[in-house]
């Protein structure tokens, strides 16, 4: 029981219930979330909280209530001070929706792990017979019925309609409508005519009315995640309402990236390399992606690896090609939904042909997709730095990760060669170049992750028994060695250096009060005002080293070499890394090599303290660290080089206490500025609360 209150009979036969107590509680655990996010110990202040009658609304299918809650703390911390006037008292509006349950005529559909559907409705039947499962899972989907149930193609009784927020600026609103409408292609391919529409929200409509599926244009202090959520009938999985929230600051981050790659002077040209046109193309992708979630689809992070970008449910990186010394943006983003999306909508919403067994028909669809080479990899096998699935990656392109890394590095090289104040919009502070450099200097970061997953990579499917796709396969040894060679190349000081011209331009600083985004999205500096290139290089290199030395990857290297002696072994990988990083570099690159080498030593020392590292892997890493230390005793170079090498050698070859001391800096590694939207878990550092459907 969550809450209890007094019910009073009314003279007309109705019932009156004062739900103020229900609304004024900490329903979504705000205080605990703030504490987890190190924002301070907050408590709900009842005297400063109230139910807002202006937000108490009634519609045919739902009632809406809003409570204004204040949380107080004697010792606030974290980033709240940037957002609220006084961090000692944080006031939030907590909204509650009471939505009418639909009728019982909906036909539920069971979950199939091969098909790319989102979070399921779980049902437990503890009275099930022994030949039946106790736990069953139902997919989430809208009710969609043909007017002619027997026809292969038919119009529908009630189309699915999403409404775009009128508050979005016109050019942005048009892009959102265009992108979201792509789902009509998938429904049409599934046999539903005019079944999916996207329109502007009518002027007299209230976005809180549950009869409207909403695409809202929302604002935050920093560029947060966009979301596609659903209100679901917990009995059947029927989606009662879809609610999409698109963060407005995402578009400005995309503009920053494209201005950095191309230059703000190209804005408004209407050409393929117009940064604003590319931003609108990205917004179309954002809209169709989040609406896909609201339709019941999960991420497919393998979507960029086959069938010409098979799914809008991937996170799309712009596909930029190099022609000579020019960048080609003509195919930066795909248009329309992909082959996987059409399959997923057909499986989720399609109707079995007349006379066919629905379960058998759905199974046949899933089998054919797998047989045709459709790949599906979702969040659980993508987001971890040590994940094994080579096709599960975010913001990558193509089925050859190594070749695409070479392409991405070429794009980065060309962009950095011409980056300067002229890339900024006219009249912008020159200091904004320090923010623009971040996504361009780290332009290869996500492709590095994709390549790292080839090393000790294992390709596997979300198979079901008997479908013929239940065997995993290790990435072939030549591919693993090619991936290692490519990643070692990202540690080359020459690749991480910048020209003197650009370094001088990057040392301009802000005056006045900067916006929160500016403060967050800069390379950290240990040199006061001047741009700290060695720290930036260390940050970039640490991306590669962290991925290569993830304990899960090291353990898999040991196991794969046990099964196949021809495979890349852990000892071989570490020996190649050490051989590349031990020699002294020359001239201006020497300091960058020293910093990268130090990060490698720290990562070796750190992974040896990791409780997930196997005893065998620990022994191999310890031996590699000792040998690397011995190499450093004769690294050559000037006095600075000799002294630094001697220090690292002593730490690496000394007793365990020294190794632990060397690992200490990882507590504060070079902080990489955010690339993904900020606040991954959610705006209060905890899991996103599910939308409760009150009967």
Higher pLDDT, 40 or 274: 274
The 10s digit of each residue's pLDDT in 330-341 is: 999 999 999 999
What pLDDT is attached to residue 518? 64
Contact by Cβ (8 Å): 112, 366: yes
What pLDDT is attached to residue 694? 30
> By three-state DSSP, how is residue 635 classified?
coil
What pLDDT is attached to residue 509? 82
Averaged pLDDT, 610-617: 97
Token couple for 558: 């040991």
Q: How far apart are CA 96 and CA 370, in angstroms?
A: 42
The 10s digit of each residue's pLDDT in 282-312 is: 999 999 999 999 999 999 999 999 999 999 9
How far is residue 206 from each of residues 100, 209, 305, measured CA to CA in Å? 17, 6, 41
Mean residue pLDDT across the chain:
93
The 10s digit of each residue's pLDDT in 82-137 is: 788 899 999 999 999 999 999 999 999 999 999 999 878 888 989 999 999 999 99
How far is residue 6 from each of residues 16, 17, 19, 48, 691, measured CA to CA in Å? 8, 6, 9, 24, 25
Give residue 668's pLDDT band: very low, low, confident or very high (50, 70, 90).
Answer: low
What pLDDT is attached to residue 436? 96
- If residue 433 lies in a helix (H) or strand (E), which one and from where to where? helix 433-441
Q: How far apart are CA 659 and CA 610, in angstroms?
A: 13
Averaged pLDDT, 629-650: 92
| Residues 6 or more apart in contact with residue 221 via CB below 8 angstroms | 82, 83, 516
The 10s digit of each residue's pLDDT in 156-206 is: 999 999 999 999 999 999 999 999 999 999 999 999 999 999 999 999 999
Question: In the predicted model, is pLDDT for residue 383 greater than 70?
Answer: yes
pTM exceeding the 0.75 threshold for the entire prediction: yes
Token couple for 345: 């909508």
Give residue 692's pLDDT band: very low, low, confident or very high (50, 70, 90).
Answer: very low
Give residue 678's pLDDT band: very low, low, confident or very high (50, 70, 90).
Answer: low
- If residue 486 lies in a helix (H) or strand (E), which one and from where to where? helix 477-489
Averaged pLDDT, 21-34: 95
What pLDDT is attached to residue 695? 29
What pLDDT is attached to residue 655? 85
Question: In the predicted model, is pLDDT for residue 430 greater than 50?
Answer: yes
How far is residue 258 from each of residues 204, 314, 333, 482, measured CA to CA in Å? 37, 20, 13, 30
Query: Nearest-CA neighbor of 183 among 286, 289, 283?
Result: 289
Cα angle: 298, vertex 299, 302; to 5 degrees: 135
Residue ranges of the chain that CATH labels 3.40.390.10:
154-376
The 10s digit of each residue's pLDDT in 518-559 is: 677 889 888 988 999 999 999 999 999 999 999 999 999 999
The percentage of residues in the chain with a pLDDT greater than 70, rounded to a whole number, is 96
| Residues 6 or more apart in contact with residue 475 via CB below 8 angstroms | 390, 454, 455, 456, 457, 458, 459
- If residue 97 lies in a helix (H) or strand (E), which one and from where to where? strand 89-99
> By three-state DSSP, how is residue 200 classified?
strand
What pLDDT is attached to residue 510? 82
What pLDDT is attached to residue 244? 98
DSSP string of 502-528, one letter each residue: HHHHTT----S---HHHHHSS---SSS
Question: In the predicted model, is pLDDT for residue 689 greater than 80?
Answer: no
Q: State the CATH class of domain 154-376.
A: alpha beta
First to last CA, the chain: 15
């Amino acid at each position: 029981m969550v809450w209890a209150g007094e019910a009073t009979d009314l003279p007309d036969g109705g019932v009156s219930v004062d739900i103020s107590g229900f609304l004024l509680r900490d329903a979504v655990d705000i205080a605990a979330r703030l504490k987890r996010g190190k924002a301070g110990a907050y408590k709900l202040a009842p005297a400063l909280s109230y139910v807002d009658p202006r937000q108490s609304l009634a519609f045919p299918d739902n009632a809406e209530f809003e409570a204004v809650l204040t949380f107080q703390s004697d010792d606030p911390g974290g980033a709240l001070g940037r957002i609220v006037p006084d961090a000692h008292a944080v006031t939030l509006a907590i909204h509650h929706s009471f939505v009418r349950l639909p009728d019982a005529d909906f036909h539920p559909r069971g979950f199939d792990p091969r098909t790319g559907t989102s979070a399921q409705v779980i049902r437990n039947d503890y009275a099930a017979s022994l030949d039946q499962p106790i736990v069953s899972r139902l997919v989430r989907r809208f009710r969609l019925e043909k007017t002619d149930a027997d026809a292969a193609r038919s119009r529908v009784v009630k189309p699915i309609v999403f409404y775009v927020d009128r508050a979005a600026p016109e050019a942005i609103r048009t892009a959102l409508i265009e992108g979201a409408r792509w789902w009509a292609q998938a429904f049409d391919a599934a046999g539903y005519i005019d079944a999916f529409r996207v329109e502007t929200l009518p002027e007299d409509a209230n976005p809180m009315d549950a009869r409207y599926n909403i695409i809202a244009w929302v604002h935050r202090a920093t560029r947060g995640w966009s979301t596609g959520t659903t209100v679901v009938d917990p009995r059947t999985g029927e989606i009662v309402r879809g609610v999409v929230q698109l963060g407005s600051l995402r578009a400005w981050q995309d503009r920053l990236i494209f201005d950095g790659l191309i230059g703000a002077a190209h804005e408004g040209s209407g050409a393929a390399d117009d940064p604003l046109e590319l931003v609108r193309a990205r917004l179309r992708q954002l809209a169709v992606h989040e609406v896909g979630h609201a339709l019941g689809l999960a991420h497919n992070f393998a979507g960029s690896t086959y069938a010409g970008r098979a799914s809008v449910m991937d996170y799309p990186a712009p596909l930029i090609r190099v022609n000579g010394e020019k960048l080609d943006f003509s195919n930066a983003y795909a248009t329309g939904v992909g082959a996987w999306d059409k399959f997923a909508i057909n499986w989720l919403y399609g109707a079995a042909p007349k006379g066919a067994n629905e379960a058998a028909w759905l199974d046949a669809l899933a089998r054919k997709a797998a047989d045709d080479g459709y790949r599906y990899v979702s969040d659980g096998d993508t987001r971890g730095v040590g994940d094994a699935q080579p096709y599960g990656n975010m913001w990558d392109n193509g089925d050859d990760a190594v070749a695409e890394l070479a392409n991405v590095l070429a794009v980065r090289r060309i962009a950095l060669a011409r980056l300067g104040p002229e890339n900024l919009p006219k009249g912008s502070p020159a200091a904004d170049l320090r923010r623009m450099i971040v996504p361009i200097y780290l332009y290869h970061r996500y492709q590095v992750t994709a390549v790292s997953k080839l090393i000790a990579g294992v390709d596997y499917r979300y198979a079901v028994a008997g479908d013929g796709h239940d065997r995993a396969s290790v990435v072939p040894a030549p591919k693993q060695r090619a991936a290692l060679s490519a990643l070692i190349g990202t540690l080359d000081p020459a690749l991480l250096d910048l020209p003197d011209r650009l370094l001088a331009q990057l040392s301009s600083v802000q005056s006045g009060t900067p916006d929160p985004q500016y403060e967050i999205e800069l390379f950290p500096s240990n040199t006061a005002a001047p741009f700290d290139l060695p720290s930036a290089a260390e940050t970039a290199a640490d991306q590669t080293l962290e991925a290569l030395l993830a304990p899960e990857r090291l353990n898999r290297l040991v196991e794969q070499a046990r099964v196949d002696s021809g495979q890349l072994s852990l000892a071989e990988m570490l020996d190649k890394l050490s051989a590349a990083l031990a020699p002294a570099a020359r001239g201006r690159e020497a300091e960058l090599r020293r910093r990268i080498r130090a990060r490698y030593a720290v990562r070796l020392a750190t992974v040896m303290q990791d409780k997930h590292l196997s005893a065998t892997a620990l022994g191999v890493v310890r031996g590699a660290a000792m040998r690397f230390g011995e190499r450093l005793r004769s690294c050559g170079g000037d006095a600075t080089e000799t002294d630094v090498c001697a220090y690292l050698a002593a730490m690496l070859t000394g007793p365990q206490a020294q190794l632990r001391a060397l690992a200490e800096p990882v507590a504060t590694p070079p902080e990489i500025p955010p690339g993904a939207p900020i606040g991954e878990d959610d705006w209060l550092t905890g899991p996103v609360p599910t939308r409760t459907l009150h009967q």
